[in-house]
Amino acid sequence: MLQAPQRTAFSGPALIRVLARLTDHDVPESSQSLSDRLSQWLGWTDAIGLSTALSGQLPSGTPQGGQPRGGQPPAVAAGARANGHAEEAECTRVRTSLANAIVGDSTFAVARRRTSAQAAAQDASADTAVDYAVFRQRYLSIQQTIEAAVGNLRGRLRTVLATRTPAMARLAVVDAVMERALSAREHNLLATVPGMLAGHFERLREAERETLAAAEAAGEVAGIRTGAWLDVFRKDIQSVLLAELDLRFQPVEGLLAALLTR
């Protein structure tokens, strides 16, 4: 009854695969290589900064520590400079906290089991009372929380990397340049995700309406629980947010892996 449209299988990040499964956007994979796409995204000042960083020099506007000017890097305890496991624990803590916030959010929570009387009363109004704008606003709010948390972790890890080897310090600068160059594009692209899910919301609701209409015509309404589409949607929107969390954490994982390298 509540089937998502089938789309071409993608080999990209989990977020792309989930969105391809849930939405009606049948977009073919790009034939461009990553380097070609980046060359289009980076402005000439970004390209110069990246080239300078890769050559082992600090680009203009970037102080020691790989943190672009305009913000203070997170404070790091002296012991963390010698032991990257403290940073690993902090990254794990933040990621777990964010994942739990997504799964435990009341807006996305699947309805608990109810008595027959409660189900009849609540399901009768579920189809008309639910407004997608509520889900969209909550999604955007959680997005902002994830974006801020990931930004803080990247700055923290860069600060620690800058105290290590010259190669690690150079990596910190490269990451700072890439974040500065691509953060606005990332923000704008991911901000479109909630809008993409609106169609999935409506398709699920309409599919249940059609099923109920067919059941009524056949005299088989008894035993059918309405509102199941909403639980399906809540699970789906959670899966999208969790996939986005995975995507946003990739730079953090890369910096952390470098920090833990012996």
Taking residues 1-8, what's their average pLDDT?
Answer: 48
Under DSSP, is residue 181 helix (H, G, I), strand (E, B) or coil? helix
Of residues 166 and 10, more confidence is placed in 166
Out of 151-160, 205-214, 232-241, pick the least confident: 205-214
Q: Token digits for 35? A: 């380097």
Please state, in angstroms and rounded to a whole number, the distance separating the CA atoms of residues 137 and 105: 13
∠ CA 160-49-47, nearest 5°, is: 130
Please state, in angstroms and rounded to a whole number, the distance separating the CA atoms of residues 14 and 246: 8
Please state, in angstroms and rounded to a whole number, the distance separating the CA atoms of residues 10 and 29: 7
Say how many C-beta atoms besides its own lie within 10 A of residue 243's C-beta.
Answer: 18
Of 145, 155, 154, nearest to 99 by C-alpha is 145
pLDDT at 104 over 80: yes
Condensed to tens digits (0 to 9), the pLDDT of residues 176-205 reads 988 988 899 899 999 999 999 999 999 999
pTM value is 0.79
Cα atoms in the 13 Å half-sphere on the side-chain side of 86: 11
Please state, in angstroms and rounded to a whole number, the distance separating the CA atoms of residues 251 and 36: 20
pLDDT at 212 over 60: yes
| 10-14, 108-112, 143-147, 218-222, range with greatest mean pLDDT | 143-147
Taking residues 66-81, what's their average pLDDT?
Answer: 47
Of residues 224 and 63, more confidence is placed in 224
Of residues 173 and 215, more confidence is placed in 173
How many secondary structure helices (H) and strands (E) does the chain include?
A: 10, 0
